[in-house]
Amino acid sequence: MSALSAVELAERIAAGALSAREMVEACLTRIAERDGEIHAFAHLDPDYARAQADALDRHRKSGRPLGPLHGIPIGIKDIIDTADYPTENGSPLDVGRRPKKDAALVARLRAAGAVIIGKTITTEFAFLTPGPTRNPHNTAHTPGGSSQGSAAAVADGMIPLAVGTQTAGSVIRPASFCGVVAAKPSYGAVSMTGALTICEPFDTAGIFATTLEDAALILDAMFGFDPSDARTRPAPAPRLLAAVRSAPPLTPQFAIVKGPTWSAAEPALEGLLGEIAETLGDAADFVDLPDAFDNMAPAHWRIMVTNFARNLSHYVARDPSGVSQRMRDAIAEGAETSAVDYMSALDWKAALASGLDRVFDRYDAIITPAAPGEAPEGHGSTGNSAFNQLWTFVGAPAITLPVAKGPKGLPIGIQIVGRPGEDARLFRTARWLQDRLAEA
């Protein structure tokens, strides 16, 4: 079954050619074979997963309507609340924590028929201290962070779909390192009610899949207004799956952007972007961003650590020994940030978003690296989010496409970025780009 996409699996389950129980058993078998080495799951209850599947099979046999994800197993990052599994936020201080109800996005996935198969490992509070997860392509290398368990589980074929979150680069980067498709939608497109609040101006749910259609399938179920989350807005659903299956009315135009953090790039990226530009020809231009974008990284950091101090300092107050030194240092730095400095950093969000609007007035999407290169060797770091911060900072939708192998034989992805709020257009454009690169 691992050779089939989630879209194909859902179609087979709906037609009765495959049962939800058979789907779950296949995933559980793969997890049992591989997770001892990969360590993608923080919490797994096989009997409960089977019970969900059996209930869904009874539902189908009753003749009632099926949701678009009926019977599809999905892993949930362990900072997102689930009523039936612990949610421990990657911290020893939350061991045994049992939420009273599902996060809003989990409730939407259940309503669409998904099987919540388990909780995937995250770094401590979705920040820098790695968990035990390993890269399926080479276990001596990091899978990235902080949504490392979700990325690795999909990359290793344990589950077809998984959910993560991104505050800097925690969806797009691990997808590149692990060689899978990922999507971080526009800020506010998916409710974050019931997920650990780390940095409210940036926190965004994202997903991992093996195809663009699968990514669109799961995000279609997650998008929507939530009156409990002021970041969401009442708006029609974008119908991403329909968009990714449609052809652009005109040949898309791409801006290839190295960005303000290009100094972090490994040599292989220069050649990769050059090959993409040659393949696209007149459909792509290299575009330099103004010097003002150099202010993004320090502003992003200042906003992030200040919100750490606001949202996570109670863990330090409870038990400093239960919080990593890196996290304590970041919280302490945030606590010392003045209101003037914080508000000045926030001002850069609107300024840089306005600057990017001028790019999107001319181009359908931006092509930029998803990570500095291959996954670094070792497990003391989750890698560098330098190529993701800008797009998180301005709330733009982004997609990772695995397109190459680096000199060590590990995956390298590119990142496709769209104008905030235009997620459907981005999916349609990314599909065109993927097809064009495949033909070449």
Mind listing the pLDDT tens digit for each residue in 347-384? 999 999 999 999 999 999 999 999 999 999 999 999 99
* Largest Cα–Cα separation, the chain: 61
Phi first, then psi, for residue 422 (nearest 5°) are -110, 55
Beta carbons within 10 angstroms of residue 103's beta carbon: 24
What are 311's two structure tokens? 């949202």
The pLDDT confidence band at residue 44, using thresholds 50, 70 and 90, is very high
pLDDT of amino acid 264: 96
pLDDT above 70: percentage of residues in the chain:
100
pLDDT digits (tens, 9 = 90+) for 322-341: 999 999 999 999 999 999 99
Number of alpha carbons in the 13 Å side-chain half-sphere of residue 218: 34
pLDDT digits (tens, 9 = 90+) for 251-296: 999 999 999 999 999 999 999 999 999 999 999 999 999 999 999 9
- Distances in Å between the Cα of 140 and the Cα atoms of 150, 243, 375, 377, 408 are 18, 38, 10, 6, 12
The pLDDT confidence band at residue 1, using thresholds 50, 70 and 90, is low
Instruction: Give the residue among 202, 158, 210, 159 at the shortest CA–CA distance from 184.
Output: 202
What are 38's two structure tokens? 């990969």
pLDDT of amino acid 185: 98
Instruction: Give the residue among 157, 203, 186, 176 at the shortest CA–CA distance from 27.
Output: 157
Number of alpha carbons in the 13 Å side-chain half-sphere of residue 200: 11
The pLDDT confidence band at residue 440, using thresholds 50, 70 and 90, is confident
Catalytic residues: 77, 146, 170
pLDDT of amino acid 287: 98
pLDDT of amino acid 205: 98
Q: Which residue type does 25 have?
A: E
d(CA 327, CA 325): 5
pLDDT of amino acid 147: 98
Domains of the chain as residue ranges with CATH: 13-244 (3.90.1300.10), 295-340 (no CATH)
User: Residues with Cβ < 8 Å from 334, sequence gap 6 or more?
Assistant: 304, 305, 306, 307, 308, 309, 310
Task: List b or e across 197-226, with b for residues whose CB sees 16 or more CB atoms inside 10 angstroms.
Answer: ebbebbbbbbbbbbbbbbbbbbbbbbbbeb
What are 373's two structure tokens? 């290169």
Distance of CA 130 to the CA centre of its chain: 17
Q: What DSSP letter does each residue of 250-319 carry, written as one string?
A: S---EEE---TTGGG--HHHHHHHHHHHHHHGGGEEE-PPPGGGGGHHHHHHHHHHHHHHHHHHHHHHH-
d(CA 331, CA 341): 16
pLDDT of amino acid 3: 84
pLDDT at residue 212 greater than cutoff 70: yes
Measure CA of the first residue to CA of the last residue in the chain; give whole Å: 29
pLDDT of amino acid 237: 87
Beta carbons within 10 angstroms of residue 271's beta carbon: 10
Q: Which residue type does 14 have?
A: A
Quick check: 375 and 130 in contact, CB under 8 A? Answer: no
Quick check: 64 and 2 in contact, CB under 8 A? Answer: no
Question: Mean pLDDT throughout 231-255?
Answer: 96
What are 327's two structure tokens? 């996290």
